[in-house]
Amino acid sequence: MWFESLHQSHHFIRYMMVVGSRLVFAIFLGNCLCLLLLRTLIDANQADVDCLRTFKSQVEDPNSYLSSWVFGNEAYGYICKFSGVTCWHDDENRVLSIKLSGYGLRGVFPLGIKQCSDLVGLDISRNNFSGPLPSNLTDVIPLVTTLDLSFNSFTGGIPVNIANITFLNSLMLQNNQFTGQLPPELVKLGRLKTFSVANNRLSGPIPTFKSTSINSENFANNTGLCGKPLDECKTASRGKVVIIAALGGFTVAAFVVGIILGLFCSSISVERLLFKRS
């Protein structure tokens, strides 16, 4: 009898040990997963905090309009209260859009914005940004649907790479100092509804956009943009003009050479005549 019960209790203890160890393991695993989840969440949010910190350090802010951007707070979503910043959720440091129009900011395009990896809207219009746009713009802001850089002093070409920001439906580049041609690749932007490059120094043919809402005003006041919806490109007729001018020049040159040769010959024959007579 005692033997049996001893045997049973032995079994029981063993059973409890197995259950216990499994329980401990499960709790351990649960904690690990939970920590991992929390960790990735915090890391993701930390990237967005770093993004805004870098942004602030990369731009000049002569009017101190970014003074509400104070870092080092522990509260969830504290960056969502920064002026110009909108988050996906108010209690999560994950930036949805940045709108800083007319803040008097200066400097080059702030590359640090790449760390705001979920950014879908960027508006830094009516500031004093200058210099060329980065040629890898699509790597910096791959998901933006609205991009407004209008009324700044950006220079250089419009990067071909913009055509790879697939979800763009609004691209405002007017009133800058962009030069060169419009990349033909821009027609790849199938969702583009709003677009303007008015008041720049662009030239060359306008690509055929799908959207009908993009009209001649959106291309106005450039150095030499042509083609629909503006006037036809003059390259063909300009080519004819060049050929006609060249032919004309050739004719004149031949005529002049002819006269000179004629004079030369006649002077020779006159000389000969005089020589013979004398």
Ligand X SMILES: *[C@@H]1O[C@H](CO)[C@@H](O)[C@H](O)[C@H]1NC(C)=O
Tokens for 56?
């602030």
CA torsion 108→111→112→114, rounded to 10°? 150
Residue 216: CB minimum distance to ligand X, A: 9
The nearer residue to ligand X, 59 or 80, going by C-beta atoms, is 59
- Residues 238-277 touching ligand X, rule: CB under 6 A, are none
- Residue pair 205/224 in contact (Cβ under 8 Å)? The answer is no
- Site membership for ligand X, residue 207 (CB under 6 A): no
Cα–Cα distance, 30 to 36 (Å, whole number): 10
Contact region for ligand X (CB under 6 A) — 136-144, 201-209, 238-246, 258-266?
A: 136-144
DSSP secondary structure letter of residue 223 = S
Cα–Cα distance, 200 to 221 (Å, whole number): 7
Query: Of the candidates 221, 228, 229, 233, which one interacts with ligand X according to CB under 6 A?
Result: 221
Contact region for ligand X (CB under 6 A) — 77-85, 135-143, 245-253, 262-270?
A: 135-143
The nearer residue to ligand X, 217 or 231, going by C-beta atoms, is 217
Cβ density class 56-89: b for 16+ within 10 Å, e for less: beebebeeebbeebeeeeeeebbbbebebbebee
- Site membership for ligand X, residue 114 (CB under 6 A): yes
Residue 87 CB contacts under 8 Å (≥ 6 apart), including other chains:
77, 79, 80, 93, 94, 95, 96
The nearer residue to ligand X, 181 or 221, going by C-beta atoms, is 221
- Site membership for ligand X, residue 220 (CB under 6 A): yes
Q: Total residues at the site for ligand X (CB under 6 A)?
A: 16
Query: Of the candidates 91, 139, 231, 232, which one interacts with ligand X according to CB under 6 A?
Result: 139
The nearer residue to ligand X, 54 or 128, going by C-beta atoms, is 128
- Residue pair 124/154 in contact (Cβ under 8 Å)? The answer is no
- Site membership for ligand X, residue 193 (CB under 6 A): no
- Site membership for ligand X, residue 140 (CB under 6 A): yes
- Residues 11-30 touching ligand X, rule: CB under 6 A, are none
Query: Of the candidates 54, 58, 164, 177, which one interacts with ligand X according to CB under 6 A?
Result: 164
- The kind and range of the H/E element at 123 are strand 121-123
Query: Of the candidates 113, 122, 124, 198, which one interacts with ligand X according to CB under 6 A?
Result: 198
Residue 105 CB contacts under 8 Å (≥ 6 apart), including other chains:
59, 60, 61, 65, 66, 124, 127, 128, 129
Contact region for ligand X (CB under 6 A) — 15-23, 159-167, 251-259, 260-268?
A: 159-167
Footprint of ligand X (CB under 6 A): 104, 111, 114, 128, 134, 136, 139-140, 160-161, 164, 198-199, 217, 220-221
